[in-house]
Amino acid sequence: MNSQSSQKTGAASNFGNMEDAAIIQSRTTMPTSLSKQRDFLEVSLTFALLLLVLWTPMPWQLLLWGVALAGMLALTHRRFDGLEPMGLCKGNFRPALWAVGLATILAVAAVVLAFGLSTLQVPVSPMRFVAHYGAYAIWAFVQQLGLQCFFLSRLLRLMPDTLSAVSVAAGMFAIAHLPSPILVVATLIWGFAACALFLRYRNIYLLAVAHAILGIALGVTIPPQVDHEMLVGRRYLTYVQKPVPNASLAQP
């Protein structure tokens, strides 16, 4: 009986070790019922608003994006715990570099495979590449801030354990990328890995870099007629491929 309890406790603690002192402290303070209700409302209403944004036509979508981002910033500022808990610090930079290295290896492998399959697509000029994917890199950083600092931080207080919180966060991240089947699968896997890495290393910058590398790899290796240029929501369904000149590095 005691040995079984010890095994269960040990197994549960393996994943929980990824939490740093800030998260552990928030767990031990036993959030009140009112605090949990507030967390639930903030998570559910904000996520519903984000889904509404993604399925709203232009130009209303831009307006709702502003409302959603302003709301998330206001709620984050209201419950600001400091830069370090948010991962906006230099801590664990070297130990977490392996994640960027692994993302780079996967990206290179995808490019090599796409070259062999004649699906590699790159912009016609370096300036176009930088302009397009530079903006995506910034968007990757924003996504990681929202996923880790807003949703995951609240789910850790709502869910019974860390694994549940990470799983729900990854699921929400994937749902936000509907109806693209490629992005749903990719973001479910990456969302889980990113949350786990965040709790282990608490560095949002490296996560954003890894996210950008993997996202750009998808963008240049999958034909636009397949992934609809990585659009999601209503824009995925209404996508019409434009005759944008590109330089394919694949063999004819």
Query: pTM of the predicted model, to two decimals?
Result: 0.83
Contact 217, 111 (CB under 8 A): yes
Closest CA to 200 of 48, 96, 51: 96
Short-list 184, 185, 193, CA closest to 233: 184
pLDDT at site 29? 44
DSSP 3-state of 121: strand
Quote the percentage of the chain above a pLDDT of 70. 84
pLDDT digits (tens, 9 = 90+) for 199-248: 999 999 999 999 999 999 999 999 999 999 999 999 999 999 876 554 44
Give 136's contacts (C-beta < 8 A, 6+ positions apart).
212, 215, 216, 219
In this prediction, residue 7 carries a pLDDT of 47
What gap in Å lies between CA 206 and CA 186, rounded to an integer? 18
b/e code 88-115 from CB counts within 10 Å (16+ = b): eeeebeeebeebbeebeeebeebbeebe
The predicted-structure confidence for 67-111, as pLDDT tens digits, reads as follows 999 999 999 888 888 888 889 988 889 999 999 999 999 999 999
Domain coordinates in residue numbering, the chain: 30-248
Sequence-distant (6+) residues with CB within 8 A of 168 are 155, 159
